[in-house]
Amino acid sequence: MGEVRKLQKKLRQIENLEIKISLTSEEKYKISRKAELRSRLAELQLQLSGPQQTLGIVGDGKKEKMKRQVEDAPEALPSQTPPASKILKGEAESRAPASPAPAARTRERGGEAGTGRQQDGTQAAEVSDHCRSASAGRSDPSEEQQLEQEEADFTSLRASWEKAKFRLRRLDGHNDIVTCAVAVDNLVVSGSRDTTVKVWHVPTATEQKNLGGHTGGVTCLSVPPPEYCKRLAWSLSLSDRERFLLSGSADCYVKIWALSVGQCVKSIYTFNAVTALCFVPEGDGYIVAGSDGGKVQAWSWHTFENCQSASAHQEAVTSIQSQGPLVFSGSAGGEVSVWENRRSARDPLRLLHRWSGQVTGCRGGPGGRLTLSPRGDRVFLGYGRAWLKILHWKTGTTSRLTNHSSITGVTDCVHQTGGLLIGSCYDLANGESTLNLFSLPQCRYLASLTWPDAPRILCFAAWTTGSGDHRWVTGGRDLIVWEQLPSSGKRRGDVTVRRDGGLDSCSLESEGDTEDDEETDDHEDDDDSGGAGEGAPAGAEDGGPGSWLRCVLQ
């Protein structure tokens, strides 16, 4: 097992080295060994899997037996994303809670998982007894009928996704990796390490504008809602239909762009490299940014004055998302903080909870990259492993959702859209990239989407058309637009839809079942460190497990 982990580490290093702008001869030599290391890793995987299991085999959905899922706590704030009508019919009925797994009920009787955890050493975590109360009423015939209906709805939803077809179109224009992307009406906006922001017209797949102005790699984008754009548009004598875009960069600037004219209308200097960004549509509106030094800062959308600067995390802030009046920030060290917007002119963000990497289980090492997506009282976390973590942010309890059937899979981003949870996955062993779809709120596996020579997906954005079809955009080495095609049509899609038997048989697991979900030997000495040199910190020049963020900031 130790050799497997070392091979995983070396492959992570190589994957991150490949996205660096310039390489030394020693780094080029390391990259040349990629095929050799993959072959050895695949051989070891087969040996470890044994005769009873072969990793990565695609199962037949009709023959696989679905395990019962562990029931999640009720959601306080449901997703505001409208469901896609053609694919997600019946999703409302599927929101009925799933039956708890027998193992979960055994754990509840023996002791609650996570009760020993504390909020930064001060507040003990509590576990909801919602599963127990649900389990107590299982003998009710009406509930049995409800469960049967839920299972039928899920089966129908799964069947519809097995027939899903997408057309893929690559948007060529960036000359470096795409680090972030957002959707605005019929436009896609992408930011790249090449320092540019580009605006694309989706129906024609053409570049509309090239927004140059940053002097460092663009790391994050955000779009204020239309109602918050009107006042700024009026003050600039622009159309009341003008849309604005926020971009953050390693050059320490947050820039505000008017998309119709393609001009920067405001620049905010932050004194720190900007690594995460979001717009909070509460009150007059707030711009919230995170930095590579762990700071979270807020600016008033009305006056553009800095109204808060807090040392929120010990390491770089890698993700910020808003949900109503709440703001969630995640760091490279695996910390997650939850803030409440008080709509005040000074210090509008009040810290509600802060959970350390030890609690979240997302301690990816220095320079790691954590992405988050909040939903009600849960936060879905992607952190470069084969699993998604689910943090109940009010109590600090966590569960794990398998996102790859092999330990060589890594998760780069997680996203929610139209009743779906979507996790990207990249297999270090064979270079295969997929998007895994799960139904919400139960997080049950639906299908996996891939295509030939699919690149590693580092960012994801999604929206639905007026007819209810899905449109997605993925970024990384390539910027690709996904357009859903009618499943009943004769036109063939560009995407392969399949079921992974390893995921089909997995259920949500409480943190008590994840003893093996610890840091691998990412910090062990590498006897083949190449150009890093002895004594070099992990994740620095040798492209450690979280060096993607550092590459962006170079």
> Which tens digits make up the pLDDT trace of 391-422?
999 999 999 999 998 888 889 999 999 899 99
Q: Which residue has tokens 């390391």?
A: 30
Cα(414)–Cα(239) distance, integer angstroms: 35
Q: Which two tokens stand for residue 249?
A: 């960069």
| Crossing angle of the two packed helices 34-49 and 2-17, in degrees rounded to 10 | 150
Mean pLDDT of the 117-132 span: 39
The predicted structure's pLDDT at residue 84: 42
Residue 196, burial from CB neighbour count under 10 angstroms (0-12, 13-18, 19+): buried
Query: Which of 324, 320, 361, 323 has the alpha carbon at shortest distance from 337?
Result: 320
**133 has a pLDDT exceeding 90:** no
Straight-line distance from the first to the last Cα atom of the chain, in angstroms, rounded to the nearest whole number: 34
Task: Indicate the DSSP class of residue 494.
Answer: S
**526 has a pLDDT exceeding 80:** no
**500 has a pLDDT exceeding 60:** yes
The predicted structure's pLDDT at residue 473: 96
**20 has a pLDDT exceeding 60:** no
**469 has a pLDDT exceeding 90:** no
Instruction: Choose between 526 and 477: higher pLDDT.
Output: 477
Mean pLDDT of the 24-44 span: 81
Q: Is the bond preceding residue 83 a cis peptide, omega within 30 degrees?
A: no
User: DSSP letters of 24-44?
Assistant: -HHHHHHHHTHHHHHHHHHHH
Cα(227)–Cα(121) distance, integer angstroms: 42
Do the Cβ atoms of 356 and 120 come closer than 8 Å?
yes
Tally the residues of the chain.
554
Q: Which amino acid is at 223?
A: V
* Confidence tier at 125 by pLDDT (50, 70, 90): very low
Task: Indicate the DSSP class of residue 186.
Answer: T
* Confidence tier at 511 by pLDDT (50, 70, 90): low
31: left (phi over 0), alpha (psi -120 to 50) or beta: alpha
The predicted structure's pLDDT at residue 139: 55
Q: Which residue has tokens 């049967």?
A: 148
Domain range summary for the chain, segments of one domain joined by +: 2-54+521-553
Cα(124)–Cα(127) distance, integer angstroms: 10
195-244 pLDDT, tens per residue? Answer: 999 999 988 889 999 999 999 999 999 999 999 999 899 989 999 899 99
The predicted structure's pLDDT at residue 181: 96
Cα(404)–Cα(416) distance, integer angstroms: 18
CA atoms within 13 A on the CB side of 488: 2
**112 has a pLDDT exceeding 50:** no
**369 has a pLDDT exceeding 50:** yes
Do the Cβ atoms of 35 and 428 come closer than 8 Å?
no
* Confidence tier at 144 by pLDDT (50, 70, 90): confident
424-433 pLDDT, tens per residue? Answer: 999 988 889 9
Look at residue 255 and give its three-state secondary structure. strand
User: DSSP letters of 56-73?
Assistant: TPPPPTTTSPPPPPPPPP
The predicted structure's pLDDT at residue 46: 76
Instruction: Choose between 282 and 34: higher pLDDT.
Output: 282
Q: Which two tokens stand for residue 535?
A: 């004594």
Do the Cβ atoms of 444 and 154 come closer than 8 Å?
yes
* Confidence tier at 507 by pLDDT (50, 70, 90): low
Look at residue 354 and give its three-state secondary structure. strand
